[in-house]
Every structure is written in C-alpha cells, then in structure tokens.
A and B are shown apart, each in its own frame.
Chain A
C-alpha cells in the first residue's frame, strides 16, 4: 500500500486530504507543521508528499529545497494559497512535481496524487501504448482501434496520448488543459468536454465498447472495459 505524507497546518483541510486519499486505498500520515513534516519526510520513506506552501515554523518552499538537496526524490504535490503564476514557477523550480492552488476540490487533489504515484509506470523507452484494442504508436503518431486506423488532429493525438499514458486513472479537466495546451488558468466554459467529445467520436465509434469514461464531477479516464 503506497504511503503518503500530508504536511498541512489546517486540521480540517488535512482531515479531508487524509479521508480522500484513504478512500483511494492509500496510507496517509499527517504533520501539522514544517519542522515535523521535514523530519518525517526525510526519515519516513514515503511514496508521495502533499505539502502546503505556507506553514508555521518551516516554509513549504524550504522543505522542498532541503529534500531535493538531500537527493530525496519523493514526488511532491504542492498545495498553495498563492495562485500567482510566478509562485507556481517558483514552487516547481524548487523541486515540486505538481502545484495545486487553494481552494481546491479534493477529487482534483486525489487525481493528481494518483498520477504522481504512478508517473513512472510507463517506461520512457516504450514506443507503443495499448488500452483494449486501441493502440497508439508513439513514433509514427498512428492510432488504431482494432484494424481501423484513426485520423487524429495533432491536439487530439496529444490528448489521447496523455489519457493512455495514465490509463485507468482519473484525469481532471484542469490537468488536461495544463498538459495538452500548457496553460494554467480556468478556461471557464466546457471547452475540454467539447474536445473530449470530438476524440470520443473518433475512438468510440458506434457499436464499439466505449473506452473513454466520464468520471462524474471530476474528469475522464480511459480504461479497458471490465
């Protein structure tokens, strides 16, 4: 069972994080200040850390920097009340792996944790991705459903690759927008849904088992039908 350390000074927020991650089958430890958090992070051998940016005693940014200086490569999801683009860049540059701003939805947080925990599940050297009878060639950028070759636009290809790299995991709209388009703001309307809809029409043609699943309120997941 993967072990997660949550460093968060607000008890209620921490409780929610613990509850949400526990419901995903993770074992969660909680530290309510920076000093304790850092010593646990160094000693504990965790698989992932969620780290509040502003903490009593020791600042979140200092904790990341210290851990990385000690060559501890545990994935870190930074959670911050500071949403400025510069703040995000600073957090990621210091060694954070992902950045989430408050107020956040716990399913968004959980989805990001899952992705970080399994980010190395697809080896870099892999040249083909497969979900059910859907195949994606990472070299020729060719997609096939069964024997049928799919004609994808560049953005659709990127979107499909992102979903398939994280097959079986929930991917939120915000994550899709950040990863596929590279922007970090809220596009507001149902834009991502529209793009997914396009992709779906091409992949899950009439009569075929749908592979892209909508996760209510949260996002999407691509998976082999059970």
Chain B
C-alpha cells in the first residue's frame, strides 16, 4: 500500500512537470499576436484552471491571462519551480496551494508565467493515503483485540497453575495442576507435571511409611525394655548389689526414649501442615512466664537472667505451646552453656510488622562457621560435648520456627557469647 502510494504520487508529479515543460517549450517559440491566440486557445478546454497563465510586460504589468500578479517566490530564470503557496488571488478557479510554475521571457520581450496546479494530484494521493490508513486500522485494531483476547485465557490458566503450585510448595502434595478440556500444549505440560507429582507423592508416602514403621517398631520394644528394667529394679530392692547398675541402665533407656521422642517430634512438626493450635497471644505473657520458669535454674548456676520488655508488644499469631517449647530450648541452651558468674539476657522489641526476641549470653558463643550447622539434627559443637543434651533441641526449634514462618538468626553477642534472634511476623499469619 505504502509502495503504491509513493509510486503513484511520484509518477503523477513527473507527469505534471512534463506537461508544464511541454507548454513552456511550445510558447517559448511564439511571440506577438500568435502567442496571445495560442494562450487563449489553450484555455478553451480548461474549466478549472489547472493550467493557468499570465502575460506581463517588461515592467511586470499584467497584460492578459488569469494570473494578474507575479508569484512572489518564483525565480525569473526559465526553470520550473515547485511553489508551496502558489498565487495570492481571489479567483477560486486559480490554484492556491502547491503548484509548479515557470516564468519565461518571450521573444517580444514580454514575460509569460505558466502554472500547473498539483491539486488533482493531491486528490489521488489522498485517496490512496486514506485507503492505506483504513487498511492499517482494519488490520491492527482487530489484531490487537484478538491478541489480547487470545492471551487472556492462557494467562488465567497460568495464574490458576501458579496458585496450585504455591499450595503444593507449601506442603499440600495432594493438589494437582488444573487441566482444561482443550488438551493443548499447556495441558500437556500440566499433565507431565501432575505425573511427576503423583510419583513424588507416592515416594513421600513410602518414605513416611517406612519412618512410621520404624518408629512404631521401636516404640513398643523401647517401652518393654524400660518396663522390664524397672520391674527387675523393683524386685531387686534397694539393698541389691545390682541396684546401682540397674538404675544406670534405666537412666540410659530414659535418655534413649527422650532422644527418640525428640526425633518423632521433629518429623511430626515437619509434616504438620495444619495450624489448628494457632491463636492470638501476647508475647509479653509468654516471655515473663519463660523468665519465671528459668530463673531458679539460672540462679542455681549463678547466672544472672534478665528480661527487657517494652511496655507494649503487638500480639503474635501462633501456637503457644510450640513457641514456648522453641524459646525454652534456646533459653535452656543459653543457661547450659554459660559458666557461673555469667549473664543471659532476653530482650524483645518490635519494629514495623516484626517482633524480635533476642537471647544473648556470655558463654563461649557459636563459631561463625558453625552457625548454619547448629540447626541440623544431632549437631553439637565441640564445646557442647562437655554438656549433657541431645543435640536435637535446636532442630526442634528450627522446625517450630519454620511452621510459624518466622526466621531464626544466629550471631555473636556483645556479652561475649551467642546471640539468637527470633524474627516473628506480628498479626495474623497468612
């Protein structure tokens, strides 16, 4: 379309110029009466003055023709000029806008001005241009609308897939990506992912099944072992030479059972998706309770345990028992690893939508390269081996923190020991 427009307008332009040149050529060889007659005759077929002329004397006074005044921009050099504003005249038949014009000196000394209007040419090119614009708009507008409509549906489906995927990531492995009846590429992809999810879910079930079986298989013998040892101890009486050995065996079994319960507890927490126990709770009450619970232990170990609380704290949304368990683990560790005469500090502060609970101690601290590892199961630092403990405590903490969507930061305290900061989102958890 564009090419057509340019070709046609170029061709018409050339044609106009050519006809003007022919007239110039023709009239250049005439003079006197012959010229006048020829000029009048040339106008005989012109209704609208596409080809107008003006005859002037040597002093540029008009002598004849429609043009009564010499176009201002026209050079008197006998060459064709393209004028953007043609003539200043009231005659509606005269071309006003763009035209080709030429001024030539005829043999008898008079000046002849010939003008060829480009108007007709513009009409044609305008028609072509309009056609071109129409064509474009009829193609582009439905195109854009169509593109938008076509794009909207897959986008909606991708959003649905995204929403499902988020639920799966959050732990609900029973969900599947939605399929449409169209069976298109998106559905093929979703079907592949669903098949993978089926397999993953089956594997997870198998692993969990194995774990549950092991747990179940161990639970009963452990209960029996503890019970039988206890029975023998009861029957032996306090005076028996075996009493002490049996006492020790029972102690070891208790340790084993506690460690086993800890492991079960972590896996329970890890695959718990429901937050049934979540309530709105006041962190101040929780922390004061913690402080009171641990104060006697700290005092017995000659450790000063302090609690710094602002007058008000925003409520937390969480499981009271689990949060207490997590904080108790951290505080218990802090007290355990702090030597007599040391200091343990609990501090809470809130900023924006986060509540920070910081536990600091003057104990040996956690080396920088071990800070990641302390949250893993059964991890205990070199220092920790000198103290009793199961090495599971911090993993329980990590599981509880995860369940709540909180974050635990392990660092160094200005008191010289470890600093553990629990970042809790306040208000209702999503």
Contact = CB atoms under 8 A, between A and B. Distances in A.
Interface of A: 10, 12-13, 16, 19-20, 23, 81, 83-86, 89, 101-107, 153, 155, 181, 183-191, 194-195, 197-198, 216-217
A188 B254 contact: no
27 contacts: A13-B220, A13-B223, A16-B223, A16-B227, A16-B228, A20-B230, A23-B234, A81-B219, A83-B264, A84-B272, A86-B274, A102-B223, A103-B222, A103-B226, A103-B261, A105-B254, A106-B227, A188-B332, A189-B297, A189-B336, A190-B297, A191-B297, A191-B332, A194-B297, A198-B296, A217-B230, A217-B251
Main DSSP-derived SS at the B contact region:
helix
B268 A84 contact: yes
Give the interface size bracket for B toward A.
Answer: 35 or more
Given A183-B325, A191-B294, A83 B265 contact: yes
Contact of A81 (B216, B294, B336): B216
Interface in B318-344: 319, 321-322, 324-325, 328-329, 332, 336
B223 A86 contact: no
B321 A183 contact: yes
Nearest to B258: A186
Contacts of B257: 103, 105
A188 B277 CA distance: 23
A102 B220 contact: yes
A183 B324 CA distance: 8
Contacts of B297: 189-191, 194
B250 interface: yes
B296 A194 contact: yes
B390 interface: yes
Contacts of B223: 13, 16, 102-104
B234 A194 contact: no
Chain A CB within 10 Å — which of B274, B319, B322, B325 has the most? B325
B260 interface: yes
B268 A106 contact: no
Interface string B227-256: 110110110000000000001001100100
Contacts of B234: 23
Contacts of A186: 258, 261-262
Given A86-B277, A107-B230, A195-B296, A12 B336 contact: no
